[in-house]
Amino acid sequence: MRVVLFFFCITASVAGYSQILEDSNRFFRWAETNYPQFFSPAGAKNVDYQGYLVRYYEDTNIYLATRDGVAYYSRPDQGGGIIYLGSIYFFISEDEEGSARPLSAFFGLDNNMPFAANALCFGASGEDGMPVVLSHTVNPDTLQAEDFRVVRQSGATSTPFCVTLRPANDIDENRTALLIGEFGNANNDPPVKVLIVGDLLSDANNSPQVNFRDTQVSVIPLNAGPEIILAATVPEDIWSLSGQGTSCPIGTKQVVRVTWTGGVRLPNGDELGEAQRPLYKVSLTAADGSQSEVSPAALAELGDNDNNHFLCLDTITPATSVAFPAGHLVDPNGDLNENSKVVVRR
């Protein structure tokens, strides 16, 4: 166990530790209840190791860990690599009615919003930009800048002067709130936490309405690369509609939407194309438990400058996870993407 724990000691934050500890325990219980074949015996002892909370499941020789609301696992018998699972709130929110959380807050630009951002919010040019991805799609009528408070390393706080769901505001997309304002300096007083202090409500289209008030998330720093924060299947009555981006081709049988922590493009500024399609790897799990891996037959939801992609699949076998390798895409700050692997939310 000591060897594997070493890998969990990469820079850790303990901001909001009490709340995250409670939510981590909820996540561990969720995993033990829903996947006892992997996480057994239930109720394994928590090991708090430099900001990571780790449980070791002796029966299956698997480690499950959380840090700052993000889940990881490792299997020594399969090489012992650390696998990123995604936000713990993907999982616990599905089983607990009323749960709502910001999944990520990404310090995307420091005093560098482009002139074109004035089309989103007048005066945005030259300001900081921070996309915040939420666990549920939101009711736009309840979204206000005053709903958010950004906390800096020094403890100083600020309120965005503008917040918008654009450009990620197609049908069934409204879960990325772009915060614009002055949130600190990346070099000497960076933002470290985003609080939701107002009554920001979900749209209640597919689940009971929930309120994001009194929730929070740690900020991903400016020099970190973007990563996939959410993957979810898309109903056909949604993906068959025309939106701002490109559409899946005729013959598509299943669509998974991947949501990145921020917008991504190729290093030369171009949109993703055919060369990047095979980089996406989708794991499929059949009814008999057999597993396989495919790349999407096509990519869609391109060309609209947001943080979402459609993975158009030519199979009805349920998609269960999505992966994308590091080093191929960049965020608006020019940082290369991190390696990503997340469970598909259905």
The chain-wide mean pLDDT, for the chain, equals 87
Residues 47 and 231: their CA atoms lie apart, in Å, by 29
Q: Is residue 177 scored above 90 in pLDDT?
A: yes
In DSSP terms, 219 is beta-bridged to 105
> What is the tens place of the pLDDT at every residue in 192-202?
999 999 999 99
Question: 137 near 165, Cβ under 8 Å?
Answer: no
Strand residue runs (E) in 58-171: 62-67, 70-74, 83-87, 102-106, 128-134, 148-152, 157-158, 162-164
- What pLDDT shows up at residue 89? 67
pLDDT (mean) for 20-26: 80
Q: Retrieve residue 191's tokens.
A: 């933002």
Specify the pTM. Answer: 0.76
pLDDT (mean) for 73-102: 72
DSSP state of 98: T
Confidence of residue 6 (pLDDT cuts 50, 70, 90): very low
223 φ, ψ (degrees, to nearest 5): -85, 0
- What pLDDT shows up at residue 92? 66
- What pLDDT shows up at residue 289? 79
- What pLDDT shows up at residue 233? 94
In the chain, the amino acid numbered 54 is V
Confidence of residue 26 (pLDDT cuts 50, 70, 90): confident
> What is the tens place of the pLDDT at every residue in 126-170?
999 999 999 999 999 999 999 999 999 999 999 999 999 999 988
> What is the tens place of the pLDDT at every residue in 268-321?
999 999 999 999 999 998 888 788 999 999 999 999 999 999 999 999 999 999
Q: Is residue 266 scored above 60 in pLDDT?
A: yes
Buried b / exposed e over 282-308, threshold 16 CB at 10 Å, is bbbeeeeeeeeebebbbbbbbebebbb
> What is the tens place of the pLDDT at every residue in 35-71?
888 898 988 899 987 778 999 999 999 999 998 778 8
- What pLDDT shows up at residue 32? 86
Domains for the chain: give ranges and CATH numbers.
2-95 (no CATH), 102-220 (2.60.40), 228-345 (2.60.40)
Cα angle: 83, vertex 235, 246; to 5 degrees: 85
In the chain, the amino acid numbered 199 is D
